[in-house]
Amino acid sequence: MKTTLRSLPYVGTLCLMLGACGSVTTRVEPAIEAPAATPAPSIDPHYQPVIDRDAAYIDSLRAAPAPAEPQVIDGKSEVGDRFELSADGYVNIGNGRYPTASDESLEAAIALGKHVGAERVLIYWQDSNAGAETRSLLAAYYVKFRLLFGATFRDLTARERESLGLDGGVRIGGVIGDSPASQANLLPDDLVLSLNGTPIRGRSQFQELLKNNAGKTITLRVLRGTTRIPRVVRLGELPPTAKPD
């Protein structure tokens, strides 16, 4: 099977990937509502869900339909790969853990990834303290979620407001690649002052305005350094059941 980084032999160190809901990486997308939270049924004793919800919930958040076959990739570092993939909007939905590393375990892990609708499957061969003869296998399953905005943002501190002479606004933090925020050339440390002419008082109001304008093109007034510039952003869609009334 073709891999992204290098071939995927059974013998040898397999070594990419992203962030997820409920994982170590902080999610960079403002929280949005989704279908009713229904726990996922037990589908395989080896499967450990990170997002413990059914397939309908996962599908409602996908950026694209599940592929016929997942892309299998040699993992390097669980945390590092998760961080790297989160920059592209991928979320770790679950893991497959197999106590014995073998060709059969590898085939089962890939089949499980296909069953849960993973777009990328990262494979890690793990040595136990007893030595390489007791290696286990970990498969991390990732799905690319749609992004409403694609950047973190926070309230300005009292000191920032005082030094800048502002009554409100939010400061942009991390920006996800190939997201609405990234495509609009928003940068970390940009200050968003207004949305479609409405002054931004703070983070909660800005998040609500984003949700209310989901799927639409908006204009942000941004303070970058000492220059005020407009940024046109085409927001992503919310999941069907999460659209405001």
Residues 188 and 212 in one domain: yes
Residues 209 and 174 in one domain: yes
Residues 132 and 37 in one domain: yes
Q: Which of 99, 128, 146 is the last residue of a domain?
A: 146
Residues 163 and 128 in one domain: no
Residues 175 and 98 in one domain: no
- pTM, 2 dp: 0.58
Distance between CA atoms of residues 168 and 194, nearest Å: 9
Buried b (16+ CB within 10 A) or exposed e, 119-131: bbbbbbbbeeeee
Q: Based on the structure, what is the number of domains in the chain?
A: 2
Report the pLDDT value the prediction gives residue 38, as an integer from 0 to 100.
Answer: 55
Reference 209, options 230, 225, 233; nearest CA is 233
Range of the domain at 237: 151-242
What percentage of the chain carries pLDDT values higher than 90?
56
Residues 91 and 118 in one domain: yes
Arithmetic mean of pLDDT, 9-18: 31
Distance between CA atoms of residues 197 and 218, nearest Å: 10
Residues 105 and 194 in one domain: no
CA angle at 182 for the pair 179 and 187, rounded to the nearest 5°: 145
Residues 31 and 134 in one domain: yes
Do residues 218 and 236 touch, judged by C-beta distance below 8 A?
no
Q: Which of 146, 167, 197 is the last residue of a domain?
A: 146
Residues 128 and 27 in one domain: yes
Residues 77 and 166 in one domain: no
Greatest mean pLDDT among 87-91, 126-130, 199-203 lies in 199-203
Do residues 185 and 231 touch, judged by C-beta distance below 8 A?
yes
Reported as a pLDDT band with limits 50, 70 and 90, residue 130 is low
Residues 9 and 91 in one domain: yes
Q: Which of 114, 146, 178 is the last residue of a domain?
A: 146
pLDDT tens digits for 196-223?
A: 999 999 999 999 999 999 999 999 999 9
Considering only 22-26, 71-75, 132-136, 221-225, which range has the smallest mean pLDDT? 22-26
Reference 156, options 207, 202, 95, 212; nearest CA is 202
What is the residue type of 50?
V
Reference 98, options 38, 10, 39; nearest CA is 10
